[in-house]
Amino acid sequence: MPRSGSNPRPARRRSSRSLSPVTPLGFTLTALGISYCAGLLGSLVGVGGGIIVVPALTLLMGVGIQKAIAASIVSVIATSSGAAVSYVSQRIANMRLGMVLELATVTGALSGAYLAAFVPGRGLFLIFALVLTYTAWSMLRPAGGSIDPVPDPLADRLRLHGSFFDRSLGREVSYRVFRTRLGLAVGYVAGVASGLLGIGGGVFKVPVMNLAMGIPIKACTATSNFMIGVTAAASAAVYFMRGEVLPFVAAPVAVGVLLGARTGARLLGGMKNSTIRIVFVAVLAVSALKMFAEGFR
């Protein structure tokens, strides 16, 4: 697991419940270090930091799963908004499509965040473990596939088709959008996952937007990121008003994940990331096993 190099008294790893020897300062520095690594790794492999932050806070640092999810969802707003700045100004994100799909993701996020109050901690551990497993699998799965174009009158009427300037190709890429209704359905599911588990939900949306809706992968990730800020804001507001967002936990997580993601974005140009992907999948797999164990205890 990623650990902070600079903390004076690291949290004990032995048992997830033992945190007696840790002082508030030690906790803050460790959480900052772990969140930084989560943001860095996540941005290098193209997923948000939430998927690592929640297991790390619960399994390594003894934070309750609801509080960990609440801290994570706040950090998701920061990373997605930070990333969206460059996507929007480079015009890669399809803002019209994003705003339509936000109807579904935000509704989903509200359902998920509302539901989270009624799901017991064990249940959250189990659902989270399943999503971790799915994420690990989706990262190992070979990318690509063929798109089957079907006319979509809804996309025509709302003018959702887009274009952006692809720097690596050196030309403008235009595309048509298909299956907007399917996109709305998947957006709702991604929103529920986001609100319930404190993650961005891009791992559900991006494959469908790419393979079923016909959107080039760069525009998919950019548009997904653009939506995630609003989606996470909806669930964060619910958690905030419910009192689950603890300033002491949320502060180092938000700062750490955001700074880590920024470092990752800067490194991304010159790195070959197949090794990082394997390390990341391994971290996801170990976290999934531990969370299953926690759920079945």
Residues that bind other proteins (CB under 8 A): 19-25, 27-28, 62-64, 67, 74, 77-78, 81-82, 84-85, 88-89, 91, 95-96, 99-100, 102-103, 106-107, 109-110, 113-114, 117, 157-158, 163, 165, 172, 229-230, 232-252, 254-255, 258
CA 194 to chain centre: 8
Minimum CB distance to other proteins, residue 295 (Å): 20
Q: What is the spatial distance between Cα 234 and Cα 76, in angstroms, rounded to a whole number?
A: 12
The residue (of 108 and 295) whose beta carbon lies closer to other proteins is: 108
Strands 171-175 and 162-166: antiparallel
The residue (of 37 and 73) whose beta carbon lies closer to other proteins is: 73
Q: What is the spatial distance between Cα 54 and Cα 2, in angstroms, rounded to a whole number?
A: 13
In angstroms, how far is the first alpha carbon of the chain from the final one?
22
Task: Please list the alpha-helical segments (H only) found in the chain.
Answer: 24-45, 50-55, 65-89, 95-116, 121-140, 153-157, 180-197, 202-211, 217-242, 247-267, 274-296
Minimum CB distance to other proteins, residue 55 (Å): 16
The residue (of 85 and 150) whose beta carbon lies closer to other proteins is: 85
Asked if 124 and 296 count as a contact pair (C-beta separation under 8 A), the reply is: no
What the block records as the tokens of 264 is 């990752």
Residue 181 CB coordination number (10 Å): 11
The residue (of 13 and 141) whose beta carbon lies closer to other proteins is: 13
Whose CA is closest to 246, among 113, 53, 33, 63? 63
Minimum CB distance to other proteins, residue 128 (Å): 19
Minimum CB distance to other proteins, residue 97 (Å): 11
Minimum CB distance to other proteins, residue 120 (Å): 15
Minimum CB distance to other proteins, residue 134 (Å): 26
Q: What is the spatial distance between Cα 81 and Cα 69, in angstroms, rounded to a whole number?
A: 18
The residue (of 126 and 237) whose beta carbon lies closer to other proteins is: 237
φ, ψ of residue 178 to 5 degrees: the values are -115, 165
The residue (of 24 and 144) whose beta carbon lies closer to other proteins is: 24
CA distances to 64, 131, 194, 259 from 190, rounded to whole Å, are: 23, 11, 6, 25
Minimum CB distance to other proteins, residue 244 (Å): 8
Minimum CB distance to other proteins, residue 274 (Å): 31
3 conformational bin, left if phi > 0, alpha if psi -120 to 50, beta if neither:
beta
The residue (of 227 and 284) whose beta carbon lies closer to other proteins is: 227
The residue (of 148 and 163) whose beta carbon lies closer to other proteins is: 163
